[in-house]
């Protein structure tokens, strides 16, 4: 190798090394944040829930989990959270899909207004939404006043029942679900719909055989996001939901602040985290499969 070639190679190597260092510096901040704010506390919590301090130091124990899974109150709270999450997910998908289909394939000006209306909750803080729902659907709220005014009986208020947080969470999560499904529908071309209609498919056949299989991954992603969000929801279940049983968010808060039992609160958090991790796995698998399909 000549001197010039060796010098050029050295300069190139320095360039590559420099780029690698810049890359590492760029990812260092987010990785540090994730490590410090998520991974470390999670690890500490998991470690704490799996150990007990005895006279001869810490040793492994499943006692906190045994308590959680044998305590009827904790299980009722977990079950309520799962039920609310499942009902909200189904409702959100059932409500968002037709709106998204309309927005994707409609060319009228009305579609713009509907989109703005559907995305409006994105800009409303949860606490405002909660009080708005209490004023509207709560006892002696707007709905009751209107019903009384026209001589109709009052409806049972969803406020402080499991339906309170369900209504609030559906309203709150509608924009995100809609945006995810709309993004998925952008991959379904109008021509592919027209082609299906051309060979004789009616609206239901188009939806069932063409649209849904094409956005299956997107729906799974949307469902995963909704469930992850619902398990960690606090404001709406706390303000709109019943005191007993209650969803995991308010339950954890009460356990640590009012009951002053950090170990049980951590156990509740780890159980919630494990359920969320399960859905996160669905999400990761779905993304991986979509990428595989796109590259094949």
Partner 1 sequence: MAELEIRNLSRVFGATRAVNDVSISVAHGELLCLLGPSGSGKSTVLRMLGGFERPDSGSILIDGKDVTNLPPERRPTGMVFQSHALWSHMDVFSNVAFGLKLRRLPRQDIRQRTEAALDMVGLAGFGPRRPTKLSGGQQQRVALARSLVLEPKILLLDEPFASLDQHLRERMREEVREIQQRAGITMVFVTHGQDEALALADRIAVMRDGRLEQVDKPDAVYRRPRTAFVAGFIGQMNLIDGEVRAGSLNAAGVTVAVALADGPATLAMRPEDIGLQRASGADAATVHRVIDFGTHLSVELQASGGTRLKATAQPGSGWTAGMQAHLHPRKFAVYRDGTLCGLPLAPGRADLPLSLQSLVTDQAPASRDHLASNHS
Quote the least distance from Cβ 203 to partner 1, whole Å: 9
CB of 285 to partner 1, least distance (A): 17
Regarding 209 and contact with partner 1 (CB under 8 A), the answer is yes
213 binds partner 1, rule: CB under 8 A: yes
Q: Where does this chain touch partner 1 (CB under 8 A) — which range of 79-87, 159-167, 207-215, 223-231?
A: 207-215
Please report whether residue 3 would count as binding partner 1 according to CB under 8 A. Answer: no
For residue 57, what are the β-bridge partners?
Answer: 54
Nearest distance in Å: CB 293, partner 1:
8
Site for partner 1 in 147-206 (CB under 8 A): 189, 191-192, 194-202, 205
Minimum CB–partner distance for residue 194 and partner 1 (Å): 5
Per DSSP, the residues of the chain read --HHHHHHHHHHHHHHHHHHHHHHHHHHHHHHHHIIIIIHHHHHHHHHHTEEEETTEEEE--HHHHHHHH-HHHHHHHHHHHHHHHHHHHHHHHHHHHHHHHHHH--STHHHHHHHHHHGGGGS-HHHHHHHHHHHHSTTSHHHHHHHHTTPPPPPP-TTSTHHHHHHHHHHHHHHHHHHHHHHHTTS-HHHHHHHHHTT--HHHIIIIIIHHHTHHHHHHHHHHHHHHHHT--HHHHHHS-SSS--HHHHHHHHHHTS--HHHHHHHHHHHHHHHHHHHHHHHHHHHHHHHHHH-
292 part of the interface to partner 1, by CB under 8 A: no
Q: How far is the CB of 294 from partner 1 (least distance, A)?
A: 9
Beta bridge partners of 51: 60
Site track for partner 1 across 89-128, x = CB under 8 A: ----------------------------------------
If binding means CB under 8 A, how many residues of this protein chain bind partner 1?
18
Comparison of 60 and 109: residue with beta carbon closer to partner 1: 109
Q: Which is nearer to partner 1, 215 or 227 (CB)?
A: 215
Q: Does 208 bind partner 1 (CB under 8 A)?
A: no
Does position 43 bind partner 1 by CB under 8 A?
no
Nearest distance, CB of residue 196 and partner 1, angstroms: 7
Query: With binding defined as CB under 8 A, does residue 296 bind partner 1?
Result: yes
Binding site for partner 1 (CB under 8 A): 189, 191-192, 194-202, 205, 209-210, 213-214, 296
């Amino acid at each position: 190798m000549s001197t010039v070639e060796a010098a050029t190679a050295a300069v190139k190597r320095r360039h590559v090394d420099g780029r690698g260092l810049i890359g590492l510096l760029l990812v260092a901040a987010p990785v540090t944040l994730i490590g410090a704010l998520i991974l470390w506390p999670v690890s500490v919590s998991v470690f704490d829930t799996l150990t007990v301090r005895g006279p001869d130091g810490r040793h492994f124990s499943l006692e906190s989990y045994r308590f959680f899974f044998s305590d009827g109150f904790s299980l009722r709270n977990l079950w309520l959270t799962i039920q609310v999450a499942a009902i909200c997910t189904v409702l959100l998908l059932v409500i968002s899909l037709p709106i998204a289909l309309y927005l994707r394939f409609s060319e009228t000006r009305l579609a713009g207004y509907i989109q703005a209306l559907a995305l409006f909750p994105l800009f409303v803080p949860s606490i405002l939404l909660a009080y708005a729902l209490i004023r509207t659907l709560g006892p002696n709220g707007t709905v009751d006043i209107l019903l009384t005014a026209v001589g109709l009986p009052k409806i049972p208020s969803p406020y402080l029942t499991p339906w309170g947080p369900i209504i609030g969470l559906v309203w709150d999560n509608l924009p995100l679900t809609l945006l995810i499904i709309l993004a998925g529908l952008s991959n379904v071309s109008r021509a592919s719909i027209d082609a299906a209609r051309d060979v004789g498919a009616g609206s239901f056949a188009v939806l069932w055989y063409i649209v849904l299989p094409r956005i299956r991954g997107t729906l799974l992603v949307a469902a995963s996001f909704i469930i992850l969000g619902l398990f960690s929801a606090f404001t709406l279940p706390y303000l709109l939901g019943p005191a007993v049983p209650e969803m995991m968010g308010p339950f954890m808060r009460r356990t640590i602040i009012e009951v002053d039992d950090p170990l049980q609160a951590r156990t509740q958090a780890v159980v919630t985290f494990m359920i969320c991790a399960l859905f996160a796995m669905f999400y990761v698998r779905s993304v991986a499969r979509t990428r595989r399909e796109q590259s094949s």
